[in-house]
């Protein structure tokens, strides 16, 4: 039986160097990844860790490949369940005035807690990264431990002439 594989492709109006930095530099990951940070020297064979705001390790692994700013491959495991190891590959390529980022999370166990978490987590993280890199506006009101429904607080926006108004659990963008 083949293990589940998740593939996410996004186009970001940024450079490959900035996308690489957004993935590998803690001061950037904290801006868009629910205040979480990725910590390593990013050399092949090195340990890497994903920390919460209290510096507790949430995910750990090894750097399997590192070719800045084009490709990064990591093993990925919950430190409480190291046997449930998967792999994440970041492929970064310049495309005209944008960068194509393909994130592949594979070698996941079918039905696992990790599969459930990352299948909802990656879309949120990648959307937030794209917004951060394109606007340089840090997210507010979202942490990796709490769900969030909108990037901005009610009445705020990164763009002039746009207001975000709450309606129940979702946000609606109103152009003014």
Confidence of residue 1 (pLDDT cuts 50, 70, 90): low
- Looking at residue 105, its pLDDT comes to 96
Residue 31, pLDDT > 60, answer yes
What is the tens place of the pLDDT at every residue in 109-151? Answer: 998 889 999 998 999 999 999 999 999 887 765 555 543 333 3
What is the tens place of the pLDDT at every residue in 54-111? Answer: 999 999 999 999 999 999 999 999 999 998 999 999 999 999 999 999 999 999 999 8
- Looking at residue 169, its pLDDT comes to 40
- Looking at residue 174, its pLDDT comes to 40
Which 8-state DSSP code applies to residue 28? H
- Looking at residue 155, its pLDDT comes to 44
Which 8-state DSSP code applies to residue 167? E
Cβ atoms of 87 and 105 within 8 Å: the answer is: yes
Cβ atoms of 9 and 101 within 8 Å: the answer is: yes
Q: Which residue has the higher pLDDT, 153 or 94?
A: 94
- d(CA 104, CA 111) in angstroms, rounded, equals 18
Q: Which residue has the higher pLDDT, 141 or 15?
A: 15
pTM of the model as a whole: 0.79
Which ranges in the chain are annotated with CATH 3.30.530.20? 6-140
Burial class (CB in 10 A: 0-12, 13-18, 19+), 156: middle
Render the burial of 88-115: b for 16+ CB within 10 Å, e for the rest. Answer: bbbebeeeeebbbbebbbeebeeebebb
Closest CA to 4 of 83, 60, 84, 74: 84
Q: What strand order describes the sheet that includes 71-78?
A: 6-12, 98-106, 81-95, 71-78, 57-67, 47-51, 37-39
Cβ atoms of 41 and 24 within 8 Å: the answer is: no
Q: Class assignment of domain 6-140?
A: alpha beta
Q: How far is CA 86 from CA 18, 116, 127, 161, in A?
A: 26, 13, 22, 43
């Amino acid at each position: 039986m083949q293990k589940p594989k998740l593939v996410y492709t996004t186009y970001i109006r940024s450079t490959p160097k900035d996308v690489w930095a957004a993935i590998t530099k803690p001061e950037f990951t904290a801006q868009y990844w629910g205040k979480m940070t990725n910590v390593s020297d990013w050399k092949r064979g090195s340990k890497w860790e994903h920390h919460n705001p209290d510096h507790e390790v949430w995910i750990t692994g090894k750097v399997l490949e590192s070719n800045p700013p084009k490709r990064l491959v990591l093993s990925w495991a919950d430190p409480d369940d190291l046997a449930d190891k998967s792999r994440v590959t970041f492929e970064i390529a310049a495309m005209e005035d944008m960068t194509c980022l393909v994130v592949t999370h594979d070698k996941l166990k079918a039905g696992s807690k990790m599969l459930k978490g990352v299948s909802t987590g990656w879309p949120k993280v990648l959307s937030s990264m794209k917004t951060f890199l394109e606007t340089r506006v840090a997210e507010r009101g979202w942490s990796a431990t709490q769900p969030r429904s909108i990037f901005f607080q009610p009445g705020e926006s990164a763009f002039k002439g746009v207001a975000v108004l709450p309606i129940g659990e979702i946000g609606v963008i109103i152009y003014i």
